[in-house]
Structure 1
Amino acid sequence: MVYNHLLNINLKIQVYILEDFKMLSLIGFAMIAIMMYVLLKGKASPLVLFIVLPIIGALLGGFSPAEIGEFAMAGLDKTSTNAILFIFSITYFGVMNDVGMFDVVIDNLVKKAGNSVVAITVVTAIVGILGHLDGTAATTVLVTVPAMLPLYKKLNIRPQVLLLIVASAMGVMNLLPWGGPTVRTAVVLGMDANVLWKTLIPIQLMGVVTTIGLAAILGIIESKRGAGVSKNSSISIEDEIAVTTVDEKVLALKRPKLAWFNILLTAVVIVILVLDAIPATATFMLGLAIALIVNFPKVKEQEGRIKAHASSALLVSATMLASGVFVGVLDQSGMLTAMSETVLGLVPSSMGPLLHLIMGVLALPLGMILGTDAYFYGLLPLVIEVAATYGIPALQVALTMIIGKNVALLISPLVPPTFLAIGLADVDIKDHIKFSFGWLYAISLLMLVGGILFGIIAL
C-alpha cells in the first residue's frame, strides 16, 4: 500500500517535470521565433529584444524576478569583457579611418594597377581586405566601392564583380577578434574573442589568399568578356577617377605625414594580439591612447574624436551586453537544454555525429536567411546543446558555423551595408545575390575543407 502510494507520487513528480520541460522548450522556441521574425521585419532593435524577450519568457516559465536577475548576471559575466573590447577597438579603428591611415597605400595601389583588368580586380581585393581591418561593414563599403567603381565603369567591368570581391574580402576579414561574428560566437562559448581568433587564423589566411585568387579569376573572366581599354585609347587613371566632394572638416582630420606611423602602430597592435602578450582590451586601450596623442595633440581634438565614435561604439557594446541577458536566461533557466532535447528527438541518430559538419555546409544559406544576431544568439546555442549529446565539443560546432556565416555577410538582405553597397554600385539586389551566391558558397565550403585539412575542424 505504502509502495503504491510512493509510486504514484513519483509518477506525478515525473509528469510535472516533463510538463515543465516541455513548457520551457516551447517558451524557448517561441522566444527565438519571435526574435527572428521581429529582426527580419525590422520592428525593433536587437538591444531591446535581447532584454525584453528573455525576461518575459522567464516570467512565463515560472521564475521569480530574483532568479531572472541571477540568470542575467551570469550572462553578463560572459559578455562584459568582449563588450569593453568592442568599445576601444571600434574607437581605435575609427580614429585610424579619420586620419586616413591607408589613403596613401590605396592611392598607390590604384595607380600601379593602371588599365589592367586583372590588376584592378586584385587591387579591389587588397583594398577590401585593408578596409575591413576595423571590422565595420559600412566603412569597408564606403572605402572600397566609391574608390574603385569609376575604374570598373571605364574598363567595362561589371559592378557585380566589384561587390562580389568586396563581399569575399569582408567575409574573411570579419573573423578578426573585434569582428561582430567572432565576438558573438565568443559570447556564446563563454571564451575570450582573441583566443577564438587565434584558432581561426590559418583559416583566415587561407580566406585572404582565396579572395585574392578569386579576384584574379574574375579579372580574367572579365577580360575574356571584352573588358579593358582598346589599344587606340589612352586613359589617365588620375583624370578618370571621379572626384568625390569631401567635407573640409573631414579633410582637416587627415594626417598624411603620419600615415606610416599609423600603419606601423596598427601592425604592432595586431602582432601583440596574435602573440597574446597583453590582453586584447588593454592592447586597444594603449593603441588608442598613443594614436590620439600623436595624431591629435590638443585635448579638445582628442575629446572630439572620442565623441565622434562614441555613438557607434556604445551601441555595439550595449547590444553585446544585452545579448548576455538573452544568453544567460536561455542557458541558466534550462530552456536551452529543454530545446535541445526536443530537437534531439527529430535528428536521426545516424546523422548526429556529423551535425557540426552539416551545419558548416548549411552555414552560408542559413546565415543569409537568419541574419547575424538570430544566427549566433538563437541557432548556434541550440546546435551546440544538441551536438553535445553526440560528444561534439561546442568549439567544433562554433568553428564550422562561423566560417560560412561570415562569407554570407554582404549578400544577406538583413544586413544594412548590403543595401549601402548595391546603392553605391547601382546594382539590383537580386542581381547581386544571383551573381555572388555561388562564388561565395564555394569559398565557404573551401574554407570549411581547409579547416578540416589544417586539423582545426574534426571529422
Structure 2
Amino acid sequence: MLAILGFLTIAIFLYSILSKRLSVIVALVLVPIIFGIIGGFGLELGEFMLEGLQLVAPTGVMLGFAILYFGVLSNAGMFDPILSRILKIVKGDPLKVVIGTLLFAMIAQLDGSGASTFLIVIPALLPLYDRLGMSRIVLAGMVGLGAGLMNIMPWGGPTARAGTAIGIDPGEVFIPLLPSMGIGFLWLLFVAYWVGKKEQKRLGIQDYEYDLQTEMSEEERGMRRPKLFIPNVLLTILTLTTLVMQWLPLPVVFIVAFVIALMLNYPKPDQQMDQIQRQAKGAIPVLAIIFAAGIFTGILTGTGMIDAMALALVSVVPDGIGGSMPALVALISVPLSLVFNPDAYYFGVMPILAQSAEMYGVPAIEIAQASVLGQMTVGFPLSPLTASTFLLIGLAQVELADHQRFMFKWAFLTTIVMAIFAILTGVISAW
C-alpha cells in the first residue's frame, strides 16, 4: 500500500509540474500532503515536514548566501578584468574566440545561475561572433557547455538538490567529484579547440578587437569597484579553499564571505541593502524550492513511502545489474535532462534509485554523484524543460533543434569522460 501511494505521489508530482498544472513549489508541498492524508498519517505529517525542513535548512542557507556573495562580486566587477583580458587575447582568431567563450562562460557561471550567465555572456560576445562571421550555434553551444560543467558546483542547484534529497551535505557529494570536473574541464578545452579549429579553417584570422566595457550601462559602471579587484579575488580564493578543505561548514563559509564582500565593496548601509535587494530576485525562488523540497522529502521519508518504493523496485531489477547502478545512472544522466526537470528528477526519481541501490550495497551518495555528472548540469543548457535554455537560444537567436543537435553529442561525451574517470578513481561503482 505504501509503495503504491509513493509511486502515485511521484507520478502526480511529475505530471503536475511537467504539464505545468502546478508550480514546482506548490506541487512539492501539496501533493505529498494529500497522499500522506490518504495514507492515514494525519497529524503525524507535521512532524515529518519539520524533520524535512531541518534536513534542508543548511543547504538553503548555503545556496541563498552563495547567490548573494557572487552577485555582489559580479556587480563590483571582479570578473571584468578577467573577461576583458580574454577578449583582448582572442582578437579576430575564431579558435581563440571559441576557447575564450568557454572560459568566459565558466567564470560567469560561478554565481550558480545559468540565466545570469547567458544574460552576461551572450550579449557581450554576439557582436564579436557576427563581426567575424562565426556560427551562433557554436556560441550557444560553448556557453552551454561551460555553464553546464560549472553547474556541478554545490551552489549551482543540481548538487544541492541531490544532497538534499538523500540527506547528505552537498559538499560531500561535490568534493570527491572535483578531479572528474578537472578532467571534464580539460576535455572541454579539447572540444573548444576542435570546434574553434574548424571555425578558424572556415573563416581565417581577421584583424578585429572587441571591448567589453562599451557594453555596460551607466548604472552598471556606477556599481563597479575596479580598485578592489585584487582584494575580491583573494577573498574568493580563500572562500573556495575553505569550502573545498571543509575548514568550516558550507553555509557558514558563504555567510561570512558575503558579509565581508558586502562591507568591502559597499560600506554604506543603503548600498548594502540595495545589493541585497538586487540579488533577492535570484535567491528567493531557489530558497523557496529548497524548503518546499524539505516538505516533500520529509513526508516521503517519514511515512516510509521511499523505503517501500525501493523494495518494490529491487524486486524487479535483475540482480546482475544492481551493483552497476551508478555507472548506468551516469550514462543516462544527460538524456534524462530532456525528460525530467531538476526538481522532478532529484526529488522524485533519484531518491528511489538511491534507496534501491543501497539494497545492493551501493551507497546512496554514488547515485547522487553519478546523477550530477550530467542530469541538469552538463545537460541543462539543452533541456526544453528549463526556461534558461530558451533564454540561451533566444539571446543567441538560434533554433532549439539546431542547438540540441550541436550540443547534445558534446554534453553526452563530457559526462562519459567524467564518469569513466570517476569510476577509475573509485568515486562511483561500475559493477
Pairwise TM-score range, normalised by the shorter structure = over 0.9
Aligned to 1:330: 300
Aligned to 1:26: 4
What's the TM-score once normalised by structure 2's chain length?
Answer: 0.95
Matches within 5 A, 1:204-353: 204-224=181-201, 226-229=202-205, 234-238=207-211, 244=215, 246-353=216-323
Alpha-carbon displacement from aligned partner over 1:235-274 (angstroms, at most 9, x marks no partner): 3434xx7954x44323211112222221221111111111
AA at the equivalent of 2:369: L
What's the TM-score once normalised by structure 1's chain length?
Answer: 0.90
Aligned to 2:382: 411
Largest Rg, 1 or 2: 1
The answer on whether the counterparts of 2:326 and 2:429 sit within 8 Å (CA) in structure 1 is: no
Aligned to 1:402: 372
> Is residue 137 of structure 1 aligned with residue 114 of structure 2?
yes
Deviates more, 1:391-400 or 1:149-158: 149-158
Deviation at 1:82, TM superposition (A): 0.6
Aligned to 2:39: 61
Alpha-carbon displacement from aligned partner over 1:198-253 (angstroms, at most 9, x marks no partner): 111111111222222211111012223x12346xxx43434xx7954x44323211
Alpha-carbon displacement from aligned partner over 1:380-415 (angstroms, at most 9, x marks no partner): 001012112211111111111211211101000111
**1:45 & 1:200 partners in 2: Cα distance?**
32
Deviation at 1:458, TM superposition (A): 2.4
The answer on whether the counterparts of 2:6 and 2:305 sit within 8 Å (CA) in structure 1 is: yes
AA at the equivalent of 1:44: L
> Is residue 41 of structure 1 aligned with residue 23 of structure 2?
no
Aligned to 1:157: 134
Alpha-carbon displacement from aligned partner over 1:293-334 (angstroms, at most 9, x marks no partner): 121111111111112222322221121011011011111111
Secondary structure of the structure 2 residue equivalent to 1:379: helix
**1:404 & 1:298 partners in 2: Cα distance?**
42
> Is residue 443 of structure 1 aligned with residue 419 of structure 2?
no
The answer on whether the counterparts of 1:404 and 1:448 sit within 8 Å (CA) in structure 2 is: no
Structure 1 residues 247, 235: CA separation in 2 closer, same or farther (over 3 Å shift)? closer
**1:333 & 1:55 partners in 2: Cα distance?**
11
The answer on whether the counterparts of 1:114 and 1:237 sit within 8 Å (CA) in structure 2 is: yes
Secondary structure of the structure 1 residue equivalent to 2:374: helix
**Where does structure 1 differ by over 4 angstroms across 4 or more consecutive aligned residues?**
none
Matched residues, number:
429
AA at the equivalent of 1:451: A
Aligned to 2:394: 423
Matches within 5 A, 1:63-82: 63-65=41-43, 67-82=44-59
AA at the equivalent of 1:414: L
**2:358 & 2:26 partners in 1: Cα distance?**
30
The answer on whether the counterparts of 2:88 and 2:209 sit within 8 Å (CA) in structure 1 is: no
**2:13 & 2:199 partners in 1: Cα distance?**
42
Secondary structure of the structure 1 residue equivalent to 2:203: coil
Secondary structure of the structure 1 residue equivalent to 2:161: helix
**1:242 & 1:77 partners in 2: Cα distance?**
45
**2:98 & 2:108 partners in 1: Cα distance?**
15
Aligned to 1:5: none
The answer on whether the counterparts of 2:326 and 2:428 sit within 8 Å (CA) in structure 1 is: no
Secondary structure of the structure 1 residue equivalent to 2:320: coil
**1:83 & 1:242 partners in 2: Cα distance?**
35
AA at the equivalent of 2:3: S
Give the alignment partner of residue 175 of structure 1, picking from 146, 152, 157: 152
Give the gaps of 5 or more residues in structure 2. none
AA at the equivalent of 1:190: G
Aligned-residue RMSD, C-alpha: 1.7
AA at the equivalent of 1:235: Y
The answer on whether the counterparts of 2:78 and 2:233 sit within 8 Å (CA) in structure 1 is: yes
Aligned to 1:14: none
Deviation at 1:147, TM superposition (A): 1.6
- Percent of matched pairs sharing the same residue: 34
Aligned to 1:19: none
Alpha-carbon displacement from aligned partner over 1:33-63 (angstroms, at most 9, x marks no partner): 2222222233322111111111001001111
Deviation at 1:432, TM superposition (A): 0.6
AA at the equivalent of 1:431: D
Secondary structure of the structure 2 residue equivalent to 1:175: coil
Alpha-carbon displacement from aligned partner over 1:111-161 (angstroms, at most 9, x marks no partner): 111111111111111111111111111111112111222222222221111
**1:328 & 1:251 partners in 2: Cα distance?**
46
**1:182 & 1:305 partners in 2: Cα distance?**
26
Secondary structure of the structure 1 residue equivalent to 2:77: coil
**1:456 & 1:155 partners in 2: Cα distance?**
43
